Structure 1
Amino acid sequence: MKKYISKLFLLGSLLVLGASCESEGQLTTLKSVSFPSAIEVSSSTIVLTEDTADDNALLVSWPKVTFPIDAPVTYAIQFDLVGDTSGSNAWEKAKRIVVGEDVLSKSFIAIDLNKIATDLGLQPDIAGKLVVRVEAALDRKIYSDPITLTVTPYEKSVAFGEIYMPGAYQGEWNVDKALALSAISKGVYQGYVTVLPGYGTGFKLNTARNWAQFYGAGATNADLKNMSDTDFNLPGEGSFQIKVNLNTLKWTSTPYAWGIVGSSTHAATPEDKDYGWNHSIPMSYNHETKTWKVTANLLAGALKFRLNDKWDVNYGPADASTNTINKDNGGAYDIGEPGTYEITFTINDVDPATTGYPATATCTIVKK
């Protein structure tokens, strides 16, 4: 009898264990899950414009997906090109936007949908095809059937004119008196700045002389991010050429300074009898007057101007009785009396990288 009871107990235990395993298998892997009905969009034909950039352009909604586990379901939306939604690499290039847990709709304003469309490769002002589907995730991911959209994106216009650079180099962050960077092509701006000793390197970039819209640093110091609280930073003290590209949302700084050079700037040394000709005294840029300036103690001797302590770009007077100086001219001004001089240099270099430097510039040399 004892043997019989023991066998019954063992058999019952095995049956219970088997039933438990079968139940768990059905719970986590065997029961299929799908969207109970199709997803919906507010419109399948969408024309985006910059004038309506902040308006709602698309609403995507979907039914609740029920998983066998009672827990919140996370939903996401995917956009892709029609040609990238089939084959072994299907949907790998999709733009995926996480919506949240148990949320059953998502709206997109025009500017956000425009970025999705152009990032995926749709051309501005041309109707193109996108597909959209919804992802539901819990213990696995499942997807709705896709819907095809016809979307016409727009090209964001970039105004010519100026942008502004308030920053610590001013001694105060004053956008009203900040450096103006002028447009040298569509969306590309250029200007010059000097960071004096003891001044900070932080700055912002503003689209007007106010704080209604400005750019700060994004993922890196070189990236522009709209309304970012993080300051950009220049490399340090000295003078720099600044270029800002609003098309690519990038900026660069390059060491850049005009200077005075010649026998009047420094006496000969035992090691270098032409020391004054071989070592420029750098000038500082005044962004309000758009002139380069230096106050220096000069000797009696010659003086002319060159860029970045090199002879690649230099100016000398064809007629030393005038304030006009000429590119690549061998002439020099004669400083007849030693003393302290205030010297300015003004040049209209619109875009040296593409148009070169102008034939003439102007200067003043005044004894203090």
Structure 2
Amino acid sequence: MKKYINKLFILGSLLFLGSSCDSDAELTTLEAVNFPSEINVSSTKIVLTEDTAEDQVLLVSWPEVTFPIEAPVTYAIQFDLVGDTSGANAWQKAKRIEVGTDVLSKTLIGEELNKIAVDLGLPIDVEGKLVVRVEAAMDRKVFSNPITLTVTPYEKSVVFGEIYMPGSYQNWAIETAAALTAIQKGVYQGYMTVATGAGPGFKLNTERNWAQFYGAGATNSDLQNMSDTDFVLPGAGSYQIKVNLNTLKWTATPYSWGIVGDATSGSWDNSTPMSYDHQTKTWKVTAVLVPGNVKFRLNNSWTINYGPKNTTDGIVYLDDQGSHYVGEGGTYEITLQINDVDPASTGYPPTATYTITKK
């Protein structure tokens, strides 16, 4: 009996192998993806100074990378020290800048590249070596060959001073006008909120008096000494204001901190905007909350967000997953105080302070 069972087993095995060989199924492997050619940089030797802080100092461009799947490709550039690009921890300390989907170049201004160089540890006013490479990502990440740059960074001067922004938003009272703080020599930056119904006009004064002021010149963006023409903001809302007395230009960029979370009316999808109190330099909002969680984020996006580690110490942390739990529904006054005077060159601070108080 045992002999017949063994014969049947052998016959079954042969039939299985035969059917496997006749199968039309194909064994597939992950297709190799590479950069089709080298990346390019506008210069491999760059001397950075405060005078070139806002100039375009480096253009990195690259060829389109083709993946086997028809889908958008996301590109980023990475900078690192030469000594940190090999070994088990290669590129782990790199400074990464996401460029976007199907974008094939990135331009950096002087202060951006200087911050990268200083953060990576290049000595001030001395030639140092950085390497740059491009990352392409879809179903996996592939990298270009790196290019070595010789970069001389500078030390940003400590600058002090303010200019002032009287306008319709606060009835032209120079004594209580918003102050813009010096972030570079001759460059000032600050924040403000124009309430709905308030006029959009303003001037720029060098002191808290009317001895010298600037108004609009040839265009709304141009500063002209002692011009009677008001500058005009786009309308109600919160803005980051930047004034450059070196170039006699100014800009207003929509900029608003807000609350987000399932305790808020917008839940986790839409932030409730806060208003900037320019006298106390605090973002504020009065809102109806339900039991749930609250966090803070910038410009209705998760790119920059803060969360607390607990509900007691009034501190929020950059990119922290925590949130403030509200146990009782009702009307709350919420404040956020953050030292983000010059995030473009110094980044956002690791912490900020907040209050959530039931009225």
Query: What TM-score range do you get, normalising by the shorter chain?
Result: 0.5 to 0.7
**Secondary structure of the structure 1 residue equivalent to 2:241:** strand
Distance 1:160 1:364 in 2: 29
Distance 1:319 1:185 in 2: 36
Distance 1:280 1:196 in 2: 18
Distance 2:190 2:342 in 1: 10
The structure whose Rg is larger is: 1
Q: Does 2:164 match 1:164?
A: yes
Match in the other structure for 1:289:
280
One-letter amino acid of the structure 1 residue matched with residue 168 of structure 2: A
Match in the other structure for 1:278:
269
1:34-64, CA deviations, whole angstroms, 9 ceiling, x for partnerless residues?
A: xxxxxxxxxxxxxxxxxxxxxxxxxxxxxxx
Residue 349 of structure 1, aligned match among 330, 340, 344: 340
Shift of 1:320: 2.4
**Secondary structure of the structure 1 residue equivalent to 2:207:** coil
Distance 2:172 2:251 in 1: 20
Distance 1:350 1:260 in 2: 20
1:145-175, CA deviations, whole angstroms, 9 ceiling, x for partnerless residues?
A: xxxxxxxxxxxxxx840000000111x1100
With normalisation by structure 2, the TM-score equals: 0.55
Distance 2:356 2:206 in 1: 36
Shift of 1:317: 0.5
Quote the RMSD (CA, aligned, Å).
0.9
Residue 328 of structure 2, aligned match among 306, 326, 337: 337
Shift of 1:361: 0.2
**Secondary structure of the structure 1 residue equivalent to 2:267:** helix
Q: Does 2:223 match 1:210?
A: no
**Secondary structure of the structure 1 residue equivalent to 2:325:** strand
Gap runs ≥5 in structure 2: 1-158
Shift of 1:196: 0.5
Gap runs ≥5 in structure 1: 1-158, 267-274
Match in the other structure for 1:192:
191
Where in structure 2 are the equivalents of 1:198-277 lying within 5 Å? 198-266=197-265, 275-277=266-268
Shift of 1:284: 0.2
Shift of 1:350: 2.8
One-letter amino acid of the structure 1 residue matched with residue 223 of structure 2: L
Verify the 8 A CA contact 1:325 1:360 in the aligned structure 2.
Answer: yes
Match in the other structure for 1:358:
349
Q: How many residues align?
A: 201
Verify the 8 A CA contact 1:163 1:181 in the aligned structure 2.
Answer: yes
- Segments ≥4 residues shifted beyond 4 Å: none
1:287-309, CA deviations, whole angstroms, 9 ceiling, x for partnerless residues?
A: 00000000001111000100000
One-letter amino acid of the structure 2 residue matched with residue 258 of structure 1: W
Distance 2:343 2:326 in 1: 30
Where in structure 2 are the equivalents of 1:57-68 lying within 5 Å? none
Shift of 1:321: 1.8
Distance 2:219 2:341 in 1: 28
Shift of 1:349: 1.1
Match in the other structure for 2:79:
none
**Secondary structure of the structure 1 residue equivalent to 2:341:** coil
One-letter amino acid of the structure 2 residue matched with residue 360 of structure 1: T
Distance 2:353 2:293 in 1: 17
One-letter amino acid of the structure 2 residue matched with residue 342 of structure 1: E
Where in structure 2 are the equivalents of 1:25-36 lying within 5 Å? none
Verify the 8 A CA contact 1:305 1:315 in the aligned structure 2.
Answer: yes
Verify the 8 A CA contact 2:293 2:325 in the aligned structure 1.
Answer: yes
Q: Does 2:327 match 1:328?
A: no
Distance 2:172 2:238 in 1: 18
Shift of 1:319: 2.6
**Secondary structure of the structure 1 residue equivalent to 2:334:** strand
One-letter amino acid of the structure 1 residue matched with residue 163 of structure 2: I
Distance 2:311 2:264 in 1: 18
Verify the 8 A CA contact 2:298 2:304 in the aligned structure 1.
Answer: yes
Distance 1:335 1:296 in 2: 12
Verify the 8 A CA contact 1:160 1:187 in the aligned structure 2.
Answer: no
Distance 1:247 1:353 in 2: 18
Q: Does 2:299 match 1:308?
A: yes
**Secondary structure of the structure 1 residue equivalent to 2:344:** helix
Distance 2:232 2:307 in 1: 35
Match in the other structure for 2:108:
none
Verify the 8 A CA contact 1:304 1:333 in the aligned structure 2.
Answer: yes
Distance 1:353 1:300 in 2: 36
Where in structure 2 are the equivalents of 1:74-153 lying within 5 Å? none
